[in-house]
């Protein structure tokens, strides 16, 4: 397959500056606080939603145990809002729901959509005896393979890495934002958003508690990926801030340097996953050369596999940088934010990114004083220290104030109110993670030691609409 054919997998769209989030939230079971909800509870969660909303249709997935189909259970629901398909799924984790919210070019419309969908989810959780926590990861559950939804593709990815630590990522939740761009400006926008990563990590870090202990990080969800990279299980540029992109071609060069993990083929009349294995080829070695090779299918059989244009879809979902392009949506996806305590904080992230992209020339000019290594160090500093971290020779809070004011000027007058939560965080130099640490220090005297402490902690961290 020629490189030019591979590039056509990305959608060429007009710039209309639509924006929208993917919301990942934590489902918490007060009866079993040190575990994640069971598959049965999740099935009840979706059944409750569907009963109350007949316009929803459930999505079922095969539950496999030892490669045998045990049952079908609902892993998500589909609904239509303003003629746009909305998915509510459990995605990778048994404690994490994920929603794709209809995009909009108006913040007021987006606010209405977000609140409408989250109200459905919150009511469904309440009716099932669950609650939604406004946190970036489950605060108490142990990292375990049991936390991963029993879907074939996740089992195959686990086989690819052979590390239990990777499964710890199944208890994290994020507030991800998509901003529509066109191909011509993709490199410039990727660089701009990568430069913005330290600001939003410091502003929104909200995953400081892991397995009932302070993790030592403000944004543990981010550092988890870095831990795997340091152990050599994930290629370094597959996470974090990878490189400077000159244009769309240089982004494809970046993709071509990554290794294939899984894809899908029709094999003997069935849709079957391809497992490329630990010594998998780089994308360029497999896709650009058009050389068929022998690989194992997820049913254990061996087959000769050549590249397919759909491989790019699977590649996109198996790289995890803080900003990536998504051909399915025609967007740049910003991924470096923990799940927030309320819709106000969630909408603040969307407005901040939208304002920066609209005011891209000025924002890019503000980043000219920093090179790639300095931005990467600032990201690490934000993960560990939040606003107390540094970028080059200044505090992150100072840099954040400058960038958020650029975003403020990029928004229309009626949209600027959505920035208030982030502006407040910057002025107080406190993220949600800092407020959690303050609460532990002042209210719980340094830690979570009893059922009463758990109750106080959970009550304070309920998600608010």
pLDDT in tens, 67-105: 566 667 788 888 888 788 888 988 778 899 999 888 888
Tokens read off for 329: 């949506």
Same domain membership, residue 128 and residue 190 = yes
Same domain membership, residue 210 and residue 102 = yes
Same domain membership, residue 157 and residue 292 = no
On the question of pLDDT at 440 being above 50, the answer is: yes
Chain centre to alpha carbon of residue 410: 25
Same domain membership, residue 285 and residue 209 = no
Tokens read off for 389: 């971290």
In contact, 238 and 183? CB cutoff 8 Å: no
Task: Give the structural domain span for 310.
Answer: 259-316
Same domain membership, residue 271 and residue 232 = no
On the question of pLDDT at 37 being above 80, the answer is: yes
Residue with tokens 């899984």: 262
Distance CA(376)–CA(381), nearest Å, equals 9
The stretch 204-218 carries a mean pLDDT of 91
Indicate the helix (H) or strand (E) that contains 397: helix 396-410
Q: Where does the pLDDT of residue 464 fall: very low under 50, low under 70, confident under 90, or very high at 90 and above?
A: very high
The stretch 184-193 carries a mean pLDDT of 90
pLDDT in tens, 257-269: 888 888 888 888 8
Same domain membership, residue 268 and residue 170 = no
Distance CA(131)–CA(11), nearest Å, equals 38
Q: Which residues pair with 338 in a beta bridge?
A: 174
Same domain membership, residue 294 and residue 359 = no
Q: Which residues pair with 323 in a beta bridge?
A: 334
Among residues 316, 336, 353, which one ends one of the domains? 316
In a domain, 397, yes or no: yes
Same domain membership, residue 301 and residue 398 = no
Distance CA(58)–CA(72), nearest Å, equals 11
CA atoms within 13 A on the CB side of 254: 24
Which of 356, 346, 438 is CA-nearest to residue 113?
346
DSSP state letters, 149-190? ---HHHHHHHHHH--GGGGGGGGB-BEEEEEE--GGGHHHHH
Same domain membership, residue 324 and residue 422 = yes
Distance CA(353)–CA(31), nearest Å, equals 38
Distance CA(126)–CA(130), nearest Å, equals 5
Q: What are residue 219's phi and psi, to 5 degrees?
A: -125, 80
Q: Where does the pLDDT of residue 376 fall: very low under 50, low under 70, confident under 90, or very high at 90 and above?
A: very high
Tokens read off for 377: 């160090």
The stretch 158-183 carries a mean pLDDT of 73
- Report how many domains make up the chain: 2
CA distances from 433 to 93, 201, 272, 340, 451 (A): 22, 10, 42, 10, 22
The stretch 395-423 carries a mean pLDDT of 95
Mean pLDDT in the chain? 85
Same domain membership, residue 330 and residue 312 = no
pLDDT in tens, 337-369: 999 999 999 999 999 999 999 999 999 999 999
Among residues 300, 316, 332, which one ends one of the domains? 316
Domain of 412, CATH number, reads: 3.30.590.20
Please give the model's pTM, rounded to 2 decimal places: 0.90
Residue with tokens 């300095």: 374
Query: By three-state DSSP, how is residue 260 classified?
Result: coil
Distance CA(173)–CA(171), nearest Å, equals 7
Q: Strand 262-267 to strand 239-240: parallel, antiparallel, or no bridges (unpaired)?
A: unpaired
Q: Which residues contact residue 393 at a Cβ distance below 8 angstroms, ignoring those fewer than 6 apart?
A: none
pLDDT of the residue at 13:
46
Among residues 275, 297, 316, which one ends one of the domains? 316
In contact, 202 and 395? CB cutoff 8 Å: no
Q: Which residues pair with 179 in a beta bridge?
A: 19, 332
In a domain, 333, yes or no: yes
In a domain, 3, yes or no: no
pLDDT of the residue at 382:
96
Q: Where does the pLDDT of residue 291 fall: very low under 50, low under 70, confident under 90, or very high at 90 and above?
A: confident
pLDDT of the residue at 134:
94
In a domain, 13, yes or no: no
Q: How far apart are the first and last CA of the chain?
A: 48
In a domain, 178, yes or no: yes
On the question of pLDDT at 232 being above 60, the answer is: no
Same domain membership, residue 335 and residue 276 = no
Q: Which residues pair with 302 in a beta bridge?
A: 296
In a domain, 253, yes or no: no
Same domain membership, residue 432 and residue 365 = yes
In contact, 225 and 141? CB cutoff 8 Å: no
In a domain, 273, yes or no: yes
In contact, 201 and 336? CB cutoff 8 Å: yes
In a domain, 202, yes or no: yes
């Amino acid at each position: 397959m020629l490189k030019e054919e591979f590039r056509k997998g990305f959608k060429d769209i007009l710039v209309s500056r639509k924006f929208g989030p993917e919301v990942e939230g934590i489902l918490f079971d007060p009866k079993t606080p040190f575990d994640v909800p069971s598959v049965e509870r999740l099935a009840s969660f979706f059944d409750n939603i569907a009963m109350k909303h007949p316009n929803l249709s459930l999505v079922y997935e095969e539950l496999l145990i030892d490669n045998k189909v045990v049952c079908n259970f609902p892993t998500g629901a589909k609904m239509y809002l303003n003629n746009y398909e909305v998915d509510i799924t459990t995605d990778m984790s048994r404690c994490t729901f994920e929603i794709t919210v209809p995009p909009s070019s108006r913040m007021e419309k987006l606010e209405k959509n977000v609140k409408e969908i989250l109200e459905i989810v919150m009511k469904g959780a309440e009716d099932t005896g669950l609650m939604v926590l406004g946190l970036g990861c489950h605060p108490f559950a142990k990292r375990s393979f049991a936390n991963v939804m029993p879907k074939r593709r996740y089992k195959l990815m686990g086989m690819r890495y052979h590390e239990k630590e990777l499964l710890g990522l199944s208890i994290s939740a994020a507030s991800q934002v998509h901003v529509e761009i066109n191909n011509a400006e993709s490199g410039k926008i990727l660089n701009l958003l990568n430069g913005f990563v330290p600001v939003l990590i410091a502003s929104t870090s909200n995953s400081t508690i892991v397995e009932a202990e302070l993790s030592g990080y403000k944004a543990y969800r981010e550092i988890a990926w870095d831990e795997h990279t340091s152990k050599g299980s994930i290629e370094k540029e597959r996470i974090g801030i990878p490189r400077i992109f000159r244009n769309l071609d240089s982004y494809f060069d970046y993709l071509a340097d990554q290794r294939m993990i899984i894809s899908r083929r029709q094999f003997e009349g069935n849709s079957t996953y391809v497992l490329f294995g630990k010594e998998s080829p780089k994308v360029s070695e497999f896709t650009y050369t058009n050389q068929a090779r022998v690989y194992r299918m997820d049913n254990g059989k061996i087959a000769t596999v050549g590249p397919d244009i759909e491989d790019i879809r699977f590649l996109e979902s198996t790289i995890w940088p803080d900003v990536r392009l998504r051909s399915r949506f025609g967007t740049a996806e910003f991924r470096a934010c923990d799940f927030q305590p309320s819709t106000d904080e969630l909408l603040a992230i969307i407005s901040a990114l939208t304002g920066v992209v609209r005011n891209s020339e000025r924002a890019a000019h503000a980043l000219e004083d920093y090179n790639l290594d300095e931005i990467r160090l600032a990201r690490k500093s934000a993960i560990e220290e939040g606003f107390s971290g540094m970028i080059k020779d200044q505090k992150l809070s100072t840099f954040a104030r400058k960038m958020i004011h650029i975003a403020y000027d990029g928004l229309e007058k009626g949209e600027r109110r959505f920035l208030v939560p982030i502006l407040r965080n910057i002025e107080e130099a406190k993220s949600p993670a800092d407020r959690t640490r303050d609460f532990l220090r002042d209210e719980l005297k340094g830690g979570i030691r009893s059922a009463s402490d758990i109750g106080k902690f959970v009550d304070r961290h309920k998600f608010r609409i």
